[in-house]
Amino acid sequence: MSDFLPGLEGVAATKSAISFIDGEKGLLSYRGYSLETLAENSSFEETTLLLLDGELPSAKELVGFTAKLRKNYRIKYHIREMMHHFPATGHPMDMLQTAVASLGMFYPGTECLTDAEMCEDLNYVRNMTVKIIASMAPLVAMWEHMRAGYDPIEPREDLSVAENLLYMFSGQEPDPLLARIMDVCLILHAEHTLNASTFSALVSGSTLATPYSVISGAIGTLSGPLHGGANSRVVDMLKEIGSAANAEKWVDNALANKEVIWGMGHREYKVKDPRATILHKLVTELIEDRGSSLDTTFETAMKVEEICADRLGHKGVYANVDFYSGILYAEMGIPADQFTALFAVARSAGWLAHWREQISNNRIYRPTQIYVGEDERDYVPLAERG
């Protein structure tokens, strides 16, 4: 009989060359490049190519890829009209999952997904990847206006993914510092080994489902509060605390009552999440740039982190990526219920890299189970049952 490990914890389900985590040291790397290096020097577009191809692109390759992305920002009017019929109260993640799934009807492409062994058509893989990644941010920004009863703002092909995302949200020229912070946030969320949504993408991809179905399924998995929804809850928590002066009492009460402190702890890390460290630095940079005009939420957050490190550090519980990302998004004017959708925009790069890796040497997932039900029984006719 096979061993049963709830949640498949510690079970190696695949081999991958895409990213690596050392939770004891707080290290995360993409294709061998440290996250700190990429956040400091790269862009979301370049990082996406690195994840997909395994190497940093040449200048010509990056220019070509960026141009293709920008030419695909626009969404066909059929999809826009479909979105007009969605209820205004619909959650952005439900919208995004539905819209991405519908892309397969308007941008068909199933070639390459007919061979049970592997898919080696790199043009097909690249075209599908460009279409999906280019569409994600515009769909999220479009919904912000459409659910309020307004027409969406048209994308601009002269802007990067991060810049265009902010522009389509506000209709204003993106603030350079906030655009850079958004670009770093996209890099930080782009990939994180075999998490729940990435595993969902692998399972779907192993059936040779279309990439639209693969990404739609991954979005659904990410929407769960135990995976992608924590950053909005951090913002709600900090608003509840109110100020840095209230932080210590609030944290101690939460710990005494065994309540969740959102944004603290991660299954993979025994030290501070390296993504949280980078975001913390961005918060500091933003404070230095904006000074007292910033919301007091930043001050409250840093005090909560300080107290939690004191109370929980010996257990290996420190701030994770969700702790500061939501605060930064809020400073950009993005509503809290859109935070997880932004997570999906970034993670689409990692999902598609894993999809490509899966179909290049495919074997359908079919894990086993341990049966704990009844032994074989005789059927009792309905009239004879008590």
Res 118 pLDDT > 60: no
Q: For the segment 61-70, what is each residue's pLDDT rounded down to a tens digit?
A: 999 999 999 9
Res 1 pLDDT > 50: no
Res 113 pLDDT > 90: no
Q: For the segment 53-94, what is each residue's pLDDT rounded down to a tens digit?
A: 999 999 999 999 999 999 999 999 999 999 999 999 999 999
Res 189 pLDDT > 50: yes
The conformation of residue 349, written as its DSSP 8-state character, comes to: H
Calpha distance 311→313 (Å, rounded): 6
Is 3.40.50.720 the CATH number for 230-331?
A: no
Using 50, 70 and 90 to split pLDDT, how confident is the model at 331? Answer: confident
pTM, 2 dp: 0.92
Residue 19: strand pairing partners = 30
Catalytic residue status for 266? yes
Catalytic residue status for 189? no
Helix (H, G, I), strand (E, B) or coil at 46: helix
- Please pick, among 192, 266, 280, 354, the residue that the annotation labels catalytic: 266
Residue 29: strand pairing partners = 20, 34
- Please pick, among 273, 280, 322, 354, the residue that the annotation labels catalytic: 322
Distances, alpha carbon 27 to alpha carbons 19, 24, 30, 36, 111, in Å: 11, 8, 10, 9, 38
Domain extent listing, the chain: 17-225+339-360, 230-331
Residue type, 342: L
Q: Picking from 11-25, 184-198, 275-289, 292-306, which range would have the lowest pLDDT averaged per residue?
A: 292-306
Percent over 70 (pLDDT), the chain: 95
Assigned CATH class of 17-225+339-360:
mainly alpha
Instruction: Supply the pLDDT for residue 121.
Output: 67
For residues 10, 11, 16, 20, the Cα torsion angle rounded to the nearest 10 degrees is: 0
Contacts of 158 (CB under 8 A, 6+ apart): 70
Calpha distance 180→88 (Å, rounded): 31
Calpha distance 262→246 (Å, rounded): 16
In order, the DSSP letters of 215-229 are HHHHHHHHTSTTTT-
